[in-house]
Amino acid sequence: MSKDTAIERRERRVGRGADVPASWGLGEGQAIPWEYASAPEARDIVDIKPRYGLFVGGKEIAPRSGEWFTTIDPSTEEPLAEIARANAADVDHAVGVARRAFRRSWGDLPGAERAKYLFRIARILQERSREFAVLESLNSGKPIKESRDVDVPLSAAHFWYYAGWADKLDYAFPGRVAKPLGVAAQVIPWNFPLLMLSWKIAPALAAGNTVILKPASSTPLTALLFADVCRQADLPPGVVNIVTGPGEIGMSLVRHPDVDKVAFTGSTAVGKLIGKAVAGTDKALTLELGGKAANIVFDDAPLDQAIEGIVNGIFFNQGEVCCAGSRLFVQENIAEPLVAKLKDRLSTLRVGDPLDKNTDVGAINNAAQLAKIEELVESGVAEGAEIFQPACELPERGFFFRPTLFTGVAQSHRIAQEEIFGPVLSVLTFRTPDEAVEKANNTPYGLSAGVWTEKGSRIFAIVKRMRAGVVWANTFNRFDPTSPFGGYKESGFGREGGMHGMHAYVRLEDR
Ligand code: NDP
């Protein structure tokens, strides 16, 4: 880390733009007088090896490239382990292994037999949940209370759910025969490493496909621990393969001629490249890309509940969530009290050590992402929006960013247009339902949205007009394996979760 950066980081320790909200009765730069004793989760349940090879054919192998890279803890910038850097020959080998496993063992296995393996994986994930939660927080920077209560339980739930479908495909698609596609190439991001793995692998395996998964370079560790779960579950070798390496390895995998299905979650820019690479082939494709969700609050909404929903919508996982409620639309007549309450609530958020059970906002996942957040926040200030950041101590080391709120935001501001993927909320106002809908839909994205009102009829009226794959009513960021998730427009296409998620991994034939 350069000296300049360290100085800049220290400067960020003081909140900006607004002083601490008046209701706290404190002066500028003073912290909220709530003391918490630290409550660190013990990390000794996790045994991190110095080095991890590729997981191909049921065993760990050295990369043909002979190269390795380092994965770090984003909250301390300390190295955690060395990871194999695959090359195109490694990808080719992994695809060949997955193809053989599809032909020889997995593709023809009766659904009830496949289900047993998925149930076993689900159970092992639950048994080893604390280990997974600690490792996820160490490698991704997310608070332990989120990895423990959301990421890991939901990951296990996906395996339980799709295990249930494995022997019922005839009922899922009545009158049709569901056949697996073959070999699936799956490229996932760093914001929910284990959960995205589960969203991808569980339906693929339940339908009878074999997979090669490429985790994000900054968060490979829980995928590599999952390799151990596959061995523990006695999954036939080659059914799940994990190949680590940079983005270009993701592209080699996607382009490989012996791949039948491509599933990608990540940025819209890379999603477009993948779309181009797959175009003209007969590979099946699903893309789950970025978002700029609108969270709309009407004047009849229960304000305190809405505040919790807004905070959860944008500060959950440091805002590094594709469906984050990053644009808040508030009906004009309640804007003032709502923003005041929001500032108070922001001032209670605890930012810091991801392994502390009190932490609400952990570390940003990587230095590049932190730089992107900083740049976009500066653009908001330069374009004339009013910034509020609560006064709170940020750790000296690691990639931390203070929860940030912008008011006076115009539709044309970059902070209202671009996906920030950080703990930054833009507040805009509206007067009528029509105006709310028009402004909310004014985005190239269409992944998710939220609406807060006491009137059921208004919920239905608004939801019908929102151009978003998921719309939450009087809640936000709720996930369930039975419920399909996915986007419109530049947020991608295809659905994950529910029966729709299974559909993405089968070829339907007439009986
Ligand atoms: P990317 O889309 O670059 O990364 C997602 C995955 O794709 C990673 O496994 C990455 O590998 C891989 N990848 C990168 N380049 C290619 C390529 N050319 N071909 C195939 N695979 C590739 O996201 P970033 O991590 O760079 O984040 C950039 C921005 O994307 C964020 O600021 C955020 O706005 C958005 N984003 C959206 C996510 C979502 O869920 N919708 C998730 C993550 C980011 P590697 O890690 O090795 O580069």
SS3 string, 329-373, reads EEEHHHHHHHHHHHHHHHCCCCECCCCECCCCECCCCCHHHHHHH
Distance separating alpha carbons of residues 393 and 223, to the nearest angstrom: 33
Beta bridge partners of 361: 351
Distance 38 CA to ligand 1 centre (A): 34
Q: Which of 270, 399, 418 to mutate to test the pocket of ligand 1 (most atoms within 8 A of CB)?
A: 270
Do residues 214 and 188 touch, judged by C-beta distance below 8 A? yes
Structure token digits, residue 400: 């931390």
145 membership: H or E segment, kind and range = helix 144-146
Is 439 close to ligand 1, i.e. is its CB under 6 Å away? Answer: no
Give, using CA atoms, the residue closest to atom 29 of ligand 1: 267
Would you give per-residue pLDDT tens digits along the chain (511 residues)? Answer: 444 454 454 344 445 544 444 445 455 555 555 677 889 999 999 999 999 999 999 999 999 999 999 999 999 999 999 999 999 999 999 999 999 999 999 999 999 999 999 999 999 999 999 999 999 999 999 999 999 999 999 999 999 999 999 999 989 998 999 999 999 999 999 999 999 999 999 999 999 999 999 999 999 999 999 999 999 999 999 999 999 999 999 999 999 999 999 999 999 999 999 999 999 999 999 999 999 999 999 999 999 999 999 999 999 999 999 999 999 999 999 999 999 999 999 989 999 999 999 999 999 999 999 999 999 999 999 999 999 999 888 999 999 999 999 999 999 999 999 999 999 999 999 999 999 999 999 999 999 999 999 999 999 999 999 999 999 999 999 999 999 999 999 999 999 999 999 999 999 999 8
Quote the CA–CA distance of 98 and 239 in Å, as a whole number. Answer: 6
Report the alpha-carbon distance of residue 244 to residue 403 in Å, rounded: 32
Residue ranges in 166-279 assigned as alpha helix (H): 169-172, 193-206, 221-232, 247-255, 268-278
CA of 70 to the centre of ligand 1 (A): 18
The closest alpha carbon to 249, from 275, 209, 215, 203, belongs to 215
Give the distance (Å) from ligand 1 centre to CA of residue 213. Answer: 14
Angle at 319 between CA 322 and CA 332, to 5 degrees: 95
Question: Which residue in 409, 405, 404 sits closest to 384, CA to CA?
Answer: 409
Regarding the beta carbon of 214 and ligand 1, being less than 6 Å apart is answered yes
Please identify which residue in the block is written with the tokens 């390895």. Answer: 249
Strands 78-84 and 68-73: antiparallel
Q: Which atom of ligand 1 is nearest to the CA of 289?
A: 41
Q: Collapsing DSSP states into helix, strand and coil, what is residue 32? A: coil
Q: Would you state the pLDDT for residue 12?
A: 45
Asked whether 217 lines ligand 1 (CB < 6 A), one says yes
The residue whose CA has the least distance to atom 13 of ligand 1 is 247
How far, in Å, is the centroid of ligand 1 from the Cα of 465?
A: 30
| Predicted pLDDT of residue 33 | 58
Write out the two tokens for 313: 């919508």
- C-alpha separations of 375 from 222, 371, 378, 414, 426 in Å: 30, 6, 5, 10, 15
Going by the DSSP 8-state scheme, the letter that residue 256 receives in this structure is -
Q: Which two tokens stand for residue 483?
A: 């419920």
Domains of the chain in sequence order: 43-289+488-510 (3.40.605.10), 291-473 (3.40.309.10)
The verdict on the CB of residue 486 being under 6 Å from ligand 1 is no
Is the C-beta atom of 191 inside 6 A of ligand 1? Answer: yes
Nearest-CA residue for atom 35 of ligand 1: 267
DSSP string over 357-414: TT-SB---S-HHHHHHHHHHHHHHHHTTPEEE----PPPSSS-----EEEES--TTSH
What separation in Å is there between the alpha carbon of 264 and the centre of ligand 1? Answer: 9
Handedness of CA 504, 509, 510, 511 (dihedral sign): negative
Q: How far apart are the CA of 330 and the centre of ligand 1, in A?
A: 32
Whole-number pLDDT of residue 4: 47
Residues with a catalytic annotation lie at 288, 322
Helix then strand then coil, % of the chain, to nearest 5:
40, 20, 40
271 lines ligand 1 (CB under 6 A): no
Cα–Cα distance between 466 and 449 in angstroms, integer?
Answer: 8
Residue 272 Cβ < 6 Å to ligand 1:
no
> Residues 122, 127, 128, CA angle at the centre, nearest 5°?
100
Please list the residues that pair with 185 across neighbouring strands. 212, 262
For residue 36, what pLDDT is reported? 79
pTM, to two decimals? 0.94
